Structure 1
Amino acid sequence: MEIVAVADLKIGMFVAEPDCAWTEFSFALQGFVISSPEQVEQFQQKCRFVYVDRSRSLNEFHLVKDYGRDYALRPPVDSGAVAEPEPPVRRRQPLFEMQADSDKRQQRRRRFLTFLQRQNDSEHSLALARELSYMEPRFDDLQNALQRSFQAVSLERSMDVGSVREGVRDMSGSLRRNPDALMWLLRLKRMDQYSFDHAMDVSVYLLMLGAHIGWRGLPLLELGMAGLLQDVGKTQVPVDILAKTEPLTPEERELVRSHVASSLELLCSQSHIPENVLLTIARHHERWDGSGYPRQLKLDELGLAAEMAGLVDSFCAMLKNKPYRSALGHQEALEELYKLRDHQFSPGLMEQFVQCVGLYPVGTLLELSSGEVGIVIQQNRVRRSRPRVLIMLDADKQEVRGYRVIDLNEPAHQACKVARALPHDAYGLASHDYYLG
């Protein structure tokens, strides 16, 4: 951090702290890259100096720390001058590495989605089939819009905020009509690229949680947009750090944490990004007890939207494989999060989240009292302990061929109950998309 007199402030510098309270200013964010003469003038009117973070500044004011050395990113030297040696190059994270739709996994997913759309043996299954058919092309449109938007942001071009907003609105409506449909589309329309799939997951779960606690209209829409965009700055973090299996060094940890500032820098240059979306993104790694970053905010300082975003981000990350640990199952992730109530997450919000996601959401692996093993393909909104289950292993744990579905809520299956929820890798069923065989 460097102290800079306000008379020397320039556009492109990242102001981390002024020498007076942030409340003296009308800025929406506390800590940002200066982008206009008006912002410079405000600082010059209110204080004498500010703390500038060179690692977050832009252009010639940016300073990269690498392997204990500092490298200022200056304009090219004159042809007659002797150029300094180039710093080591660390490969940045690729935006999205799409897999071809023709590979075997995509074919299995398409086959299973068709199976779900053809279910007609109950009103529940008919409703699911209708919603899947309606929502699938709109879900595809949002994926394409989000891909284009992230690429535009990384190239410092204008992103299509309107298409992203419309996609979030479509998802919100779909969750209101039939939540299971969108959860299946999340599973079956994956790009198999962590950053992209994680953004979609976080947005959907945030919309679910927001609607569950009564949010409607614009606040809910902005919450879903924040979920989609909050980690765009991770594209600026070197791949070798994100893929590291050993503990991070303090320097590497700070570099990963800088993705919050990078996200804001990339998005603040865009027009039509609501301030509430930026504020949620700025604070989604803050925690209820003040243990988060970058500003160690706590309690009511966070704001409910940011607290929800942090909780959902943590939950969705636990469900994914990471270089340093295996993915957790649904109930395992909830148990891990529940240990953090009263600390990183407020007890009230944690209780609401558990109620929101339910006992056995679609995709949960279960063992039944009959000894059979199956996966939940539809929740029972009234009797949550009696979902609709696709059987994969019989009582002897032998593979069941074809699609055999039982509804635990039907009279014919009243004697059968859920014995336990299983880890995602139970009986070796996690080595592929086990419900797509």
Structure 2
Amino acid sequence: MSLDPRAFLRSLFDAAIAAAQPERVIAPHLPPPPKGRTVVIGAGKAGGAMAAAVDALWPADEPLSGLVVTRYDHVPPAYKAQPGRIEVVEAAHPVPDEAGAQAARRIAALTQGLTADDLVLCLISGGGSALLSMPAEGLTLEDKQRINQALLKSGANITEMNCVRKHLSAIKGGRLAAMCAPAQVVSLLISDVPGDDPSVIASGPTVADPSTCREALGILQRYRIEVPPAAAAGLRTGAFETPKPGDERLARNTLAMIATPQASLQAAAQAARAAGIAAHVLSDEIEGESREVGKVHAALARAVARRHEPFAKPCVILSGGETTVTVDKNARGRGGRATEFLLGCAVALQGEPGVWVLAGDTDGIDGIESNAGAIVTPDTLARAMALGRKPDEYLASHDAWSFFSGLNDLVVTGPTYTNVNDFRALLIL
């Protein structure tokens, strides 16, 4: 069998991303036009592409308007060049900025005056937590920025981070849907979280929130994150509590999960099998410290390469989820979850013959860098050592981006206009 491992792994990554494109998955989930108005609101890295898809599919003779916020440079070029009926604005991610705060205020204003005859389409995808920023009473945008930065560096998982975010927000944790009452609310979601919990995606702005102020306060204490007195008081007294399941204001809410990490992994598996390579999907819910998850994947790859267990080679092993990187206070490196996973994996593989690994974030941005991820080859460590690059030192300083950049092994896609979380593929030949 003649196979270019790099090209093959990249084709699987591309297949996973293609399976989550809004234009491919949104049509079956659109409701019929209502008797009254249709207002489109939303937030997330896929927001621009979702808005463009809705605009293209919604009947031309039916009224349609609204506002969606997405990350800077994440509006599809065609829609940016020729905007449609839904306005799309851009803001910062992962740390919120004033543009996101202004967008949140404008979105909240659009919910005023809605009637039972109106329909609100909420387009929600990963990244919405930062992009839809409306601080709770007594807090400022600067407060939210500091807390968000601390959470990102703490090693907290996405569920923990979003529990805190929604309780310190005036629009997340079901509050946006409550604003829309008595209109019908249909939320279309693209999942970027392990388990596809809709209350966690973008901090669940249109979903009843089962978590509590007490839990949010416990998370902040666990990770030793200081918050302003107003935040501590709001959490301690329960003043910042979110709408809970059974809240009457959310009675007319429905949701549809239009794209998921598992569906994208299955699309990659199908592409691999079509190329004659056996494919095995481990899980779309893998969490943990990125470098440690990398070591575990390396151990599995070695078992297949050396003992043909638990899978026979040649094969590709696929996984997804959302790992974390706990950043040391003195670390000054560059990189995100995918590259740190890969560097941990490369160190553990120790140049195992016949093993190639690609990992990337399906939104095209690993952390805050311009690459989606990178690739590990059997000679990664040898090439690095020849250049005087010591992998352990780069790992210690959380500088995986520099490590792989120096080897020309970064995977760069640009914005993909979707987001179904981490993608990992291990090819064993």
Interval of TM-score (by shorter of Structure 1 and Structure 2): under 0.3
- Structure in which a larger fraction of residues adopt helix: 1
Larger RCO: 1 or 2 (CA < 8 Å, sep 6+): 2
